Amino acid sequence: MSTVYILWLRQIKRYFRSRSRIVGSLGQPILFLVALGFGFGPVFRRAGQGSYIQFLVPGIIAMSILFTSIFSGIEIIWDRQFGFLKETLVAPVSRLEIMVGRTLGGATVAIFQGVIVFFISLFAGFRLPGVHALIPTFVFMLLIAVLFTALGTAIASKLEDMQGFQLIMNFLIMPLFFLSGALFPLDGVPTVLATIVRFDPLSYGVDGLRSALVGTSHFGFTVDLTILSVLTFFLLILGSYLFSKIEI
């Protein structure tokens, strides 16, 4: 457990030591929140959907956690290139502990990023229904963070260098976000799109956060929680297996 704690703490320290990383990772969520929230707000309201800020904020929080957690997992590639991963793997500890420590550290950083975005959204006009919403909100933030940190670890375990990073960005992360229903309601979408959305794990995270923070849900709170929990468990196993197969 000491190894898990050390690696968890290392991930957090690495994050807080880089002020530029903190500011940079907040740029895109704030841009989406301001540009889309206020830009499409009148259109959304005239369509009879209410406040677009209320609808958008859960999706932007999920986006912030998605990006941060995926990138935390992919940091394995950097550690491999600079030799830190080799030093870690040759230590007399199990690779499972190393993977768990890194995953928890990356997930903690991602949750912190989501909390910052949440507080920023309050200044943008978002209204929390009550303090009772904070517990289920945190649960979904935790599940999203762990799920996608484990996914990032699984991907990074198979990549040798950063050349595939742009490919991952364009063909995995961005589709996960844009097809999750974070920016648009899922009611009434075409059948093909509705099918794709159901296979997007982030869809259930966005819908769960929206259920907790706004009180509306497309799939249902129980469905969101169940599917996210199962997927998180599966990806933790997959990430642990692939990480254990890394050759140094």
pLDDT, position 15? 67
Contact 54, 127 (CB under 8 A): yes
pLDDT tens across the length of the chain (248 residues): 576 767 667 767 776 666 556 666 777 888 888 888 888 778 777 766 778 898 999 999 999 999 888 887 777 777 776 666 666 666 666 777 778 888 888 888 889 889 999 999 988 888 888 888 899 999 999 999 999 988 888 888 877 766 666 677 678 888 899 999 998 888 888 889 989 999 999 999 999 999 999 988 999 999 999 999 999 999 989 888 887 777 66
pLDDT, position 165? 66
pLDDT, position 166? 65
Closest CA to 146 of 106, 203, 101: 106
Dihedral angle at the C-alpha atoms of 183, 142, 151, 185, nearest 10 degrees? -20
* CB-based burial label for 79 (10 Å; 0-12, 13-18, 19+): middle
Number of domains in the chain: 1
**Within 13 Å and on the Cβ side, how many CA atoms surround 226?**
5
Instruction: Give the predicted TM-score (pTM) of the model.
Output: 0.90
Q: Which domain holds residue 99?
A: 2-244
Contact 32, 178 (CB under 8 A): no
Mapped to the 3 state alphabet, what secondary structure does 152-188 carry? HHHHHHHCCCHHHHHHHHHHHHHHHHHCCCCCCCCCC
pLDDT, position 97? 78
Contact 204, 223 (CB under 8 A): yes
For residue 158, the one-letter residue type is K
